[in-house]
Amino acid sequence: MEPVNKGAVLVCSECGVELEVIKNCECSNCEIVCCGKAMEVKEKSSGDSCCC
């Protein structure tokens, strides 16, 4: 998996938890695991439903 950068959102396909990265990862092989599976990078949604 590519190293994750600040602002990236990771999602667990098992339980659906979402994490936001607040510091860049400098590992060559970044694997953040939840529920025993590597988490996936969620598509950054620019159009977040904001009412204001």
Closest CA to 9 of 35, 52, 39: 39
Choose the stretch contacting Zn ion; rule: CB under 5 A; options: 3-11, 24-32, 35-43, 44-52.
35-43
- Minimum CB distance to Zn ion smaller for 31 or for 47: 31
> What is the residue whose two structure tokens read 């009412």?
51
With H, G, I as helix, E, B as strand and everything else as coil, classify residue 41: strand
- Which residues inside 3-32 make contact with Zn ion, applying CB under 5 A? 12, 14-15
CA distance 26 to 23: 9
Query: Rounded to the nearest whole angstrom, what is the least distance from the CB of residue 33 to Zn ion in the complex?
Result: 9
Residues that bind Zn ion (CB under 5 A): 12, 14-15, 34-35
